């Protein structure tokens, strides 16, 4: 039975994709409305309601006698209902048999237990005419799985209540207060124009001038509020703190070899690093990460650097320095850190989450010393590190706080937080988890002996975030097949070519919506850089709670890039690279030195191109930069050797200038990357399996951001592997396989 339900889920997801592919993608799409800044009463949430995160299918049925050529639309304050933008309103339909009743073609997927405001509008000849003449917005609080609201156009009592017509139906009608029933009956006989039986023209003509003046603001297209910045956000609880938790602290710390003092600086390339105009300017934020208790001391002469253990005074000084940056670290012994990171994370989780079969992992030529016997000590280290981090955060967090954990290093962390607060009989903080690598298929995930524990660890949160729909789909399948929990998929395929995306949010510190509302009002959509014709609400019913699955690809720090492309060193480096290969077409490649980056495949394709088109060897240069991370040393050494062999072979056959190859033990800085983007004409991403990669987004944005020189005169071309996560974001990229 479980397998059958799982197959039904797969078929339902496949139906969504198939339906979306049938739509005419050539038609021009409507521009998405600016994001609405919702009023305070739209942020209400039923605290303690375990179903508050689920959704309700809301159908609208309204009785309105329209004139010939008029149509009825509906729009509301939420993103789903169009944000009171007539061009994004929801069209209602009728038929000769149903008239004067108008209804929605498909249900509205609305979060349950949250107040939604809306109004009806009249369109004439397909053009907006006016809003309905009522004094205040209609309201509905969705409840249950399905809900049909039956009401009348042009009349609304804010004190009315929705009453279920019969216990066996899901139809709700609006019932006014008992005190107003008699007065309403007498007034209807005196003023026939206010009756819903009258045509709309009678309603409009008979309205008094005072009533018209009071409502004329509603008879104009509603304008939406401007987009607000994260620094403008005010949390509902001024005492709440956002804890950003990740294994790698987004801070670079170093010890001066001469003075022996410790210094710290934000790592600008980290997703959760503090940045300008971020949410950290409007609420308290704490950063939590790990530091290994050993120090690499650079030599003052030509001798190699040495690694020495940290002293207690070193750790005390580091703690004091980090405290000034609203951060604190968990210090890990080298052996524990090695077994956790290089062991379980990088040798087991990382390849398997990139859909590498466990047999291929243990039989790879660069992992000859890798044995299954290491698994137990790796798992113990993984559990120990997650426990230490959970204990540190739980000691500092309060129930009104938000804890946001990042990536596969901390899959057990959320449940450990939950268990801690359950043991002391205290409500836990709101929990969010975001995975920045792919989630494997169920066939690969089943090979993890501790897979169920990892899933249980993640499901302790309120919101789970992924970069792409495929990653989320694999996670849902794993929850269903290995834990047996109900997976609900609320699907809304828009037939009107509108941009619709439900339940998405931006997974970095620069948020456009408040973090303390993401876990409670997941209907808010992220402003994406691409358009989607289908919306999918995903969730897992887990032990009486609904865990919301959110999908959104992380963005780039565009303000920082806009400034950086004008830095003199960036312009100078880009100019120098162009001059070095003057008159040639430059192809950029920046990859981590590992097998799944696909650098050897890129070089083989490059070699084949020169073999087939030898005249291009004097016109084309591949500028390839490779980062040696030391996180997967066997894979790295083997890949580096293979890449160098290919580079030597290609340059020997086609010329020394066809490939500009460099390796670096440190990642390229933002300035170095931007100089490369500005100088090159194309970017090649040939990953075999890839998670988060912001280089293509940086490349596209940087090509149009610089006005200091003509290096950006030609728009860049991006060649993207279909197996990279950003492939779904850059629809204009050329996809390769």
Least reliable range by pLDDT among 21-25, 246-250, 343-347, 598-602: 21-25
Does residue 380 lie within any of the structural domains?
yes
Q: What is the pLDDT of residues 37-47, one digit of tens each?
A: 334 433 333 33
pLDDT (0 to 100) of residue 131:
92
Least confident window among 78-92, 145-159, 515-529: 515-529
Q: Are 631 and 590 in contact (CB under 8 A)?
A: no
424 pLDDT higher than 50 = yes
Between 732 and 130, the more confident residue is 130
**Residue linked to tokens 């449940």:** 415
- What does the pLDDT read at residue 500? 31
Considering the domain architecture, whether residues 146 and 178 belong to the same structural domain is answered as: yes
- Domain residue limits at 617: 558-736
Does 77 score more than 50 pLDDT?
yes
Residue 26 lies in a domain: no
Quickly state the pLDDT bin for 386 (edges 50, 70, 90). very high
Within 13 Å, how many C-alpha atoms sit on residue 500's CB side?
Answer: 23
Same domain, 339 and 311: yes
pLDDT of residue 525: 30
Statement: residue 533 has pLDDT above 70: no
Q: What CATH number does the domain containing 180 carry?
A: 2.60.40.10
Whether the CB-CB separation of 110 and 103 falls below 8 Å is answered with no
Contact 273, 267 (CB under 8 A): yes
Q: 192 and 276 share a domain? A: no
Which H helix or E strand runs over 674?
A: helix 670-679
* Lowest mean pLDDT across 104-108, 348-352, 427-431, 528-532: 528-532
What pLDDT score was predicted for residue 44? 38
Last residue of a domain, one of 551, 583, 610: 551
Which of 50-64, 78-92, 502-516, 710-724 has the weakest average pLDDT? 502-516
Q: Which residues contact 94 (CB under 8 A, 6 or more apart)?
A: 72, 100, 101, 102, 103
Quickly state the pLDDT bin for 457 (edges 50, 70, 90). very high
The mean-pLDDT minimum among 111-125, 178-192, 590-604 falls in 178-192
Predicted confidence band at 488 (pLDDT cuts at 50, 70, 90)? low
Least Cα distance to 105 among 145, 57, 66, 59 occurs for: 59
Same domain, 40 and 174: yes
Does pTM surpass 0.75? no
In which region does residue 125 sit, left (phi positive, over 0), alpha (psi from -120 to 50) or beta (all else)? Answer: left
Q: Half-sphere exposure of residue 615, counting CA atoms within 13 Å on the CB side?
A: 0
Q: What is the mean pLDDT of residues 547-553?
A: 86
* Distances from the Cα of 718 to the Cα of 232, 657, 658, angstroms: 35, 22, 19
As a whole number, mean pLDDT of residues 368-381 equals 76
Least confident of 102-111, 195-204, 346-355, 656-665: 195-204
Summarize the confidence of residues 314-328 as an average pLDDT. 93
Please name which of 306, 322, 307 lies closest in space to residue 262, comparing C-alpha atoms.
322
**Nearest-CA neighbor of 588 among 626, 622, 628?**
622
Please compute the mean of the pLDDT values over residues 286-301 and round it to a whole number: 80
**Per-residue confidence (pLDDT) for residue 306, from 0 to 100:** 74
Measured in residues, the chain has a length of 737
Q: What is the pLDDT of residue 234?
A: 56
For the chain, how many helices (H) and strands (E)? 20, 30
Mark whether 517 and 578 lie in a shared domain. no
Binned at pLDDT 50, 70 and 90, residue 223 comes out as very low
Span of 266-275, 326-335, 448-457 with lowest mean pLDDT: 266-275
Which residues in 506-614 belong to E strands, given as ranges? 534-542, 545-551, 585-592
Query: Does 471 share its domain with 567?
Result: no
- Distance (Å, whole) CA 496 – CA 594: 44
Please identify which residue in the block is written with the tokens 């309403």.
184
Phi then psi for residue 136, to 5 deg, are -145, 165
Note whether 565 and 638 are same-domain residues. Answer: yes
Q: Per-residue pLDDT for 187 more than 70?
A: no
> How distant, in Å, are the alpha carbons of 75, 250, 315, 330, 417 from that of 337?
54, 17, 16, 11, 21
Cβ-contact 30, 82 below 8 angstroms: no
Within-domain flag for 10: no
Rounded to whole angstroms, the Cα distance separating 113 from 140 reads 9
Distance CA 101, CA 91 (A): 13
Instruction: Report percent pLDDT > 70 for the chain.
Output: 72
The answer to whether residue 19 sits within a structural domain is: no
Report the number of distinct structural domains present in the chain.
3
Task: Please give the structure tokens belonging to residue 448.
Answer: 């993890």
Q: Which of 215, 249, 270 is the last residue of a domain?
A: 215
- How far is 397 from 241, CA to CA, in rounded Å? 8
- Tell me the pLDDT tens digit for each residue of 134-183: 988 999 999 888 899 999 999 998 888 888 888 778 899 988 876 444 44
* pLDDT tens by residue, 685-694: 988 888 888 8
- Lowest-confidence segment of 344-358, 455-469, 497-511, 546-560 by average pLDDT: 497-511
User: What pLDDT score was predicted for residue 205?
Assistant: 34
Report pLDDT for 542.
82
Lowest-pLDDT range, 58-72, 232-246, 574-588? 232-246
Does residue 327 lie within any of the structural domains?
A: yes
As a whole-number percent, the residues of the chain with pLDDT over 90 amount to 31
10 preceded by a cis bond (ω within 30 of 0)? no
- Asked whether residue 527 carries a pLDDT value surpassing 50, the answer given is no
Q: Would you tell me the crossing angle of helices 451-458 and 469-478 to the nearest 10 degrees?
A: 120
3-state secondary structure of 679: helix
pLDDT-derived band at 53, boundaries 50, 70, 90: very low
Q: Which two tokens stand for residue 331?
A: 């210090």
Q: Report the alpha-carbon distance of residue 438 to residue 460 in Å, rounded.
A: 20
The CA dihedral of 394, 395, 396, 402, to the nearest 10 degrees, is: 10
Gyration radius of the chain over CA positions: 29
pLDDT value of residue 506: 32
What is the reported pLDDT for 82? 83
Q: H or E element: which one contains 683?
A: strand 682-685
Cβ burial of 698 (10 Å; 0-12, 13-18, 19+) is: buried
Lowest-pLDDT range of 100-109, 214-223, 277-286: 214-223
CATH of residue 350 = 3.40.50.2000
Show the tokens assigned to 713. 């005169």
pLDDT at 431: 94
Q: Give yes or no for residue 664 having a pLDDT over 80.
A: yes
Question: What local confidence, expressed as pLDDT, does residue 199 receive?
Answer: 37
Higher pLDDT, 639 or 2: 639
At a CB cut-off of 8 Å and minimum separation 6, what does 65 contact?
A: 100, 196, 197, 198, 199, 200
Confidence of residue 576 (pLDDT cuts 50, 70, 90): very high
Whether residue 355 is found in the same domain as residue 433: yes
Sheet holding 585-592, edge to edge: 659-664, 620-627, 585-592, 682-685, 717-721, 734-736
Q: Do the domain assignments include residue 165?
A: yes
C-alpha of 454 from chain center: 21
pLDDT confidence tier of residue 84, bands split at 50, 70 and 90: confident
For range 660-667, the mean pLDDT: 88
Single residue among 504, 534, 551 that ends a domain in this structure: 551
Residue 221 lies in a domain: no
List 122's β-bridge partners, or say none: 72, 130
Average pLDDT over every residue of 627-638: 81
Q: Domain check: are 618 and 695 in the same one?
A: yes
CA 626 to chain centre: 27
Q: How confident is the model at residue 362 (pLDDT cuts 50, 70, 90)?
A: low
Is the pLDDT confidence value at 434 over 90?
yes
The pLDDT assigned to 286 comes to 93
φ, ψ (nearest 5 deg) of residue 205: -65, -35
Same domain, 546 and 565: no
Q: Which helix (H) or strand (E) holds 642?
A: helix 633-654
Q: Are residue 518 and residue 593 in the same domain, yes or no? A: no
The average pLDDT across 670-682 equals 90
Does residue 532 register a pLDDT over 60? no
- Structure confidence at residue 178 (pLDDT): 62
State how far the Cα of 733 lies from the Cα of 722, in Å rounded to an integer: 10
The SS3 call for residue 61 is: strand
The answer on 353 and 440 residing in a single domain is: yes
Instruction: State how far the Cα of 469 lies from the Cα of 551, in Å rounded to an integer.
Output: 6
- Chain mean position to CA 594: 26
For 219, counting Cβ atoms within 10 Å of its Cβ (0-12 exposed, 13-18 middle, 19+ buried), the class is: middle
> In which band, very low, low, confident or very high, does the pLDDT at 270 lie, cut at 50, 70 and 90?
confident
The pLDDT, as a whole number, for residue 317 is 93
How far apart, in whole angstroms, are the C-alpha atoms of residue 400 and residue 432?
A: 14
Judge whether residue 5 has pLDDT over 70.
no
Query: Average pLDDT over the chain, rounded to whole?
Result: 76
The two beta strands, 659-664 and 620-627, are parallel
**Looking at the predicted structure, is the pLDDT value of residue 279 above 70?**
no
User: Do residues 609 and 616 make contact, with C-beta atoms less than 8 angstroms apart?
Assistant: yes
- Res. 427: pLDDT tops 70: yes
- Is residue 527 assigned to a domain? yes
Confidence class of residue 185 from pLDDT cuts 50, 70 and 90? very low
Mean pLDDT for the stretch of residues 542-571: 85
Provide the angle, in degrees to the nearest 10, between the axes of the packed helices 670-679 and 568-580.
40
**Does position 728 have pLDDT exceeding 90, yes or no?**
no
DSSP state of 438: P
């Amino acid at each position: 039975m479980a397998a059958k339900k799982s197959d039904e889920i797969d078929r339902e997801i496949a139906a969504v994709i198939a339906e979306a592919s049938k739509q005419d993608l050539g038609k021009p799409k409507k521009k998405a409305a600016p994001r609405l800044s919702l009023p305070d009463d739209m942020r209400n949430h039923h605290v303690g309601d375990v179903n508050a995160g689920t959704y309700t299918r809301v159908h609208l049925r309204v009785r309105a006698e329209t004139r010939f050529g008029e149509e009825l639309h509906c729009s509301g304050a939420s993103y789903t209902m169009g944000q009171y933008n007539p061009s994004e309103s929801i069209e209602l339909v009728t038929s000769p048999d149903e008239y004067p009743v108008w209804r929605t073609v498909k249900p509205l997927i609305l979060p349950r237990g949250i107040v939604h405001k809306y109004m009806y509008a009249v369109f004439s000849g397909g053009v907006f005419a006016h809003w309905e003449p009522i004094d205040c917005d209609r309201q509905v609080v969705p409840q249950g799985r399905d809900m049909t609201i039956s009401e009348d156009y042009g009349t609304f009592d804010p004190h009315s209540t929705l009453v279920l017509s019969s216990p066996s139906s899901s139809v709700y009608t609006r019932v006014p207060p008992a005190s107003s029933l008699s007065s309403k009956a007498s007034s209807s006989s005196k003023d026939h124009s206010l009756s819903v039986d009258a045509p709309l023209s009678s309603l409009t003509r008979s309205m008094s001038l005072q009533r018209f003046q009071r409502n004329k603001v509603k008879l104009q297209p509603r304008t939406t509020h401007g987009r607000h910045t994260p620094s403008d956000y005010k949390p509902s609880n001024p005492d709440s703190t956002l804890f950003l938790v990740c294994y790698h602290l987004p801070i670079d710390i170093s010890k001066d070899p001469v003075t022996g003092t410790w210094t710290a600086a934000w790592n600008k390339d980290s997703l959760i690093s503090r940045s300008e105009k971020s949410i950290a300017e409007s609420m308290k934020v704490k950063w939590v990460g790990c530091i290994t208790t050993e120090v690499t001391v650079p030599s003052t002469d030509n001798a190699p650097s040495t690694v020495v253990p940290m002293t207690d005074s070193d750790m005390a000084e580091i703690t004091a320095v980090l405290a000034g940056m609203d951060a604190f670290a968990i210090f890990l012994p080298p052996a524990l850190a090695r077994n956790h990171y290089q062991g379980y994370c990088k040798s087991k989780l990382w390849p398997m989450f990139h859909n590498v079969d466990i047999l291929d992992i243990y039989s790879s030529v660069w992992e000859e010393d890798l044995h299954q016997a290491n698994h137990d000590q790796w798992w113990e280290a993984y559990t120990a590190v997650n426990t230490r981090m959970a204990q540190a955060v739980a000691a500092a967090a309060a129930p009104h706080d938000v804890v946001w954990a990042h990536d596969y290093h901390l899959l057990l962390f959320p449940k450990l937080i939950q268990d801690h607060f359950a043991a002391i009989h205290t409500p836990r903080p709101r929990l969010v988890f975001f995975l920045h690598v792919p989630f494997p298929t169920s066939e690969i995930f089943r090979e993890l002996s501790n897979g169920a524990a990892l899933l249980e660890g993640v499901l302790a949160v309120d919101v789970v975030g992924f970069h792409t729909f495929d990653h989320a789909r694999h996670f849902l399948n794993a929850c269903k097949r290995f834990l047996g929990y109900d997976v609900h998929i609320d699907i809304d395929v828009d037939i009107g070519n509108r941009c619709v995306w439900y339940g998405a949010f931006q997974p970095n510190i620069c948020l456009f919506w408040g973090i303390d509302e993401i876990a409670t009002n997941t209907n808010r959509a992220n402003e994406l850089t691409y358009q989607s014709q289908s919306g999918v609400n995903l969730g897992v019913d887990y032990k009486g709670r609904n865990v919301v699955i959110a999908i959104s690809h992380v963005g780039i720090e565009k303000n920082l890039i806009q400034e950086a492309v004008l830095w003199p060193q960036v312009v100078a480096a880009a100019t120098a690279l162009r001059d070095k290969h003057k008159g040639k077409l430059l192809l950029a490649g920046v990859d981590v030195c590992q097998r799944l980056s696909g650098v050897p495949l890129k070089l083989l394709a490059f070699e084949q191109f020169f073999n087939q088109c030898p005249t291009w060897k004097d016109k084309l240069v591949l500028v390839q930069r490779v980062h040696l991370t030391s996180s997967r040393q066997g894979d790295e050494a083997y890949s580096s050797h293979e890449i160098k062999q290919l580079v030597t072979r290609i340059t020997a056959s086609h010329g020394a200038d066809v490939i500009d190859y460099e390796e670096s033990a440190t990642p390229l800085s933002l300035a170095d990357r931007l100089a490369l983007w500005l100088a090159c004409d194309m970017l090649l991403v040939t990953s075999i399996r890839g998670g988060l990669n912001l280089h293509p987004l940086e490349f596209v944005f940087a090509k149009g951001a610089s006005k200091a020189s003509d290096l950006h005169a030609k728009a860049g071309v991006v060649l993207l592997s279909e197996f990279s996560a950003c492939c779904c974001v850059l629809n204009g990229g050329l996809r390769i396989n």
